[in-house]
A and B are shown apart, each in its own frame.
Chain A
Amino acid sequence: MKRVITTTVINQSGVLNRVTGLLMKRQFNIESITVGHTEQPGISKMTFVVHVEDQRKLEQLLKQLQKQIDVLKVNDITDKAIVTRELALIKVLSPPAVRSEITSIIEPFRATVIDMSKNVITVQVTGDPEKVEAFIDLVRPYGIKELTRTGATAFVRENQKTPSQQLSIL
């Protein structure tokens, strides 16, 4: 199963290595990982998307992360009301003949064209990973020259009590 896990860490040198090393040692598959500063100086947040076999493995993962001295907090937020965002940059082959067709795909995804050359446009798309995935699937037939994704970063929503209502805002 796929889980979204966030950890708050003390921004010591080597902390990223420590956390990813631990995941490797315990044989967890990381799909994506993002790291960045938080509002507190010296404190960073990491968001991973990982695949785990079962509940027991998941529990191990959370406990082993929690055991790290530089890790302050670990949360599995998969089942919470969350907002997840990822950014992807995609170079799509777009000779003039198909360019307007591609542009028509870009619009509903609120993606933006950020660079253009004779036969290639570079598109930036942001959203939850499924949306990014869907967008990539749609432009793939045109030919993807290059692609890079940041991996997901996530927040738990402020209001957890009425998740269905909140979801409609998505």
Chain B
Amino acid sequence: MSVQVNEKHDQMKALGGDVEKSAAQGADVFIQSLQNEGVEMIFGYPGGAVLPIYDALYKNPIPHILARHEQGAIHAAEGYARVSGKTGVVIATSGPGATNLVTGIADAMMDSLPLVVFTGQVASAVIGTDAFQEADIVGITQPITKHNYQVKDVNDLPRIIHEAFHIASTGRPGPVLVDIPKNVSNEIFTLSEVKQTEVDLPGYQPTTSPNFLQIQKVAQAIQKAKKPLILAGAGVLHAKASEDLVKFVEQSKIPITNTLLGLGTIKGDHPQFLGMAGMHGTYAANMAICECDLLINFGARFDDRLTGNLDHFAPNAHIVHIDIDPAEIGKNVPTDIPIVADAKEALQSLLKLGVVTDGFSEWTDHLNKLTEEFPLFYRQSEEGILPQQAIEMIHKHTGGNAIVTTDVGQHQMWAAQYYKFNNPDHWVTSGGLGTMGFGFPAAIGAQLAKPKETVVAITGDGGFQMTLQELSLLQESQIPVKVIILNNQCLGMVRQWQQTFYEERYSESLMPSQPDFVKLAEAYDIEGYKVSTVEEADQVFEKALKSNKPVLIDCRVKQIENVYPMVAPGKGLHEMLGVKE
């Protein structure tokens, strides 16, 4: 990372002016366009087709994080984007560099994360000839990007880059890919200056203001309802509307639940919060969905992990769906009051209307009783650490204030259930694609975005091994991420399903041989600890989570332990397993 950015930036401002006009090649224009967009850092990996770009970056640096695998780079950019609300920027070379990004692009598309991904491409003249390291990345990523481009003319670069940032970050956010043939990076720019022109995209005009009549209908529906419920999803976070949401929740006195990705929109211990809903949601939250007569959804896309069997989803409810993407409304769940809008604008109009109620005391008493009677629980064990306990200890030692990233699997669900977030944008997890290998690099990006905060990557022993090469970055760039591996020596979530649905035939889900994670940490020159008892864990967590250095903890947890409660696939939310001891 470099500190000379500003000085260089000023130099570059002149670029394209009379003095340096002759020198401006595509690659220089590229760098200046990124600077015009206010890009703080790039996550990337060099290669042949992007050599001109890396050369321009050398002369005119923007801080660059050299991941050890392109997948690591893009997940880091996703983590950065999720906690900062800014657009993550990724560069990779053509062919294998570009295809290594595919998983991350699909992940960002599913979870609506704003990324602009630049790939090098072979020279225009040989595109289509199976040239060395040619891959049709525009074709490959067409269904997994919000939009993508191939640059044909160097003079189009500033416009395309500006459009890419605009598309990625507005409306429903998402990844945009820009493919740049090598010759375009070398060509001389002939326009008078590199500037952000007005975006002119007649086919892209996201609606952000709600229809006021529809908002009034919501207010009326609340007045009529006896058992209303709010569901808040990630859209509220994208809209930066958590504060408005909480105001609305408190003003209307309506109970609230979250999707997995909506966690953090309201404090985990807020008295009106029922916990997460869905496949591994709380009993109270799922029963609230089953019994409510009005369901107000702010920015959740009614994913199947949330809804369970759609035939049994909120059978008695009037559905209000507020989403910035009209295609989400009515996609899975028929909607009575559709509102296409930014969640913040919708909440603010509702707040302006002032929806005051008498508090639905019968309904909330009922739900509180369910919470009391059917809380999340685990069976205490004498030996060893239970994974749920480990999460509770992490919560205790960070006071609920850490940025927590996870990988995918059991540990992810336990983190969602037991880490009670105090703040929005502190929860980074792969929801829609469920990408193993996401958690650790995402923590790196999150930490770079928020250098002062404690960032904990909670991962499984399986998923961590998919992207652990990024350990190199921790020491190199002084990134104090705390990696806590909940090591159950198996692919826990797969093992759980095999136990539950395949009569304990543990086909390829137990991983008896593993690296020594502590030695591995040491090999990368960071502190490593192994903990096997609750006392050890408590001590090490306390110290590690207050440290300003990167730490890796191999936390041995009980192997055969299941995530409960659970809605089996294909079942309705009312058919939960494991709700009580």
Contact = CB atoms under 8 A, between A and B. Distances in A.
Classify chain A's interface size: 20 to 34
25 contacts: A9-B203, A10-B202, A10-B203, A13-B150, A14-B138, A14-B142, A14-B150, A17-B139, A18-B142, A21-B142, A22-B143, A25-B143, A56-B330, A56-B334, A59-B330, A60-B327, A60-B331, A64-B327, A67-B327, A68-B203, A69-B146, A69-B201, A70-B203, A72-B202, A72-B203
Contacts of A60: 327, 330-331
Interface string B110-132: 00000000000000000000000
A25 B201 CA distance: 24
A22 B167 CA distance: 18
Nearest to B327: A63
Question: From DSSP, what is the main secondary structure of chain A's interface residues?
Answer: helix
Contacts of A68: 203
A69 B150 CA distance: 15
A88 interface: no
Interface in B317-360: 325-327, 330-331, 334
Interface string A40-77: 00000000000000001001100110111111100000
Given A14-B138, A64-B327, A69 B143 contact: no
A22 B326 CA distance: 16
A13 B156 CA distance: 14
A63 B138 CA distance: 23
Q: State the 7 A-B residue pairs at the shortest beta-carbon distance, nearest first.
A: A63-B327, A69-B147, A69-B204, A72-B203, A25-B143, A69-B203, A71-B203
A67 B142 CA distance: 13
The listed residue with most B CB atoms (<10 A of its CB), out of A9, A14, A56, A69, is: A69
A75 to B, nearest CB: 14
Contacts of A22: 143
Nearest to A57: B331
A70 B145 CA distance: 13
A17 B147 contact: no
Interface residues of B, number: 18
Given A14-B138, A72-B203, 4 more contacts: A14-B142, A56-B334, A66-B326, A68-B203
Interface string B187-205: 0000000000000011110
B137 to A, nearest CB: 12
A14 B330 CA distance: 29
Contacts of A66: 326-327
Interface in A1-54: 9-10, 13-14, 17-18, 21-22, 25
Contacts of B147: 69
A67 B331 contact: no
Contacts of B138: 14
Contact of A17 (B142, B167, B331): B142
A58 to B, nearest CB: 11
Interface of A: 9-10, 13-14, 17-18, 21-22, 25, 56, 59-60, 63-64, 66-72
B479 to A, nearest CB: 35
Interface string B95-120: 00000000000000000000000000
B374 to A, nearest CB: 34
Interface in B462-520: none
A68 B204 CA distance: 8
Nearest to A13: B150
A109 B167 CA distance: 50
Interface in B178-223: 201-204
Contacts of A56: 330, 334
Contacts of A72: 202-203
Contacts of A17: 139, 142
Contacts of A18: 142
A125 to B, nearest CB: 36
Contacts of A9: 203
Contacts of A71: 203
Nearest to B201: A69
Contacts of B150: 13-14
A25 B167 CA distance: 21
Contacts of B327: 60, 63-64, 66-67
Contacts of B202: 10, 72
Interface in B134-157: 138-139, 142-143, 146-147, 150
A21 B143 contact: yes
A68 B202 CA distance: 11
B203 A63 contact: no
Contacts of B203: 9-10, 68-72
B139 A63 contact: no
B204 A63 contact: no
Contacts of A63: 326-327
Nearest to B143: A25
A22 to B, nearest CB: 7
B146 to A, nearest CB: 8
A56 B330 CA distance: 7
Contacts of A13: 150
Q: Which residue among B139, B142, B167, B327 has the maximum number of chain A CB atoms within 10 Å of its CB?
A: B327
Nearest to A61: B327
A22 B143 CA distance: 7
A56 B139 CA distance: 29
Nearest to B203: A72
A41 to B, nearest CB: 14
A14 B177 CA distance: 14
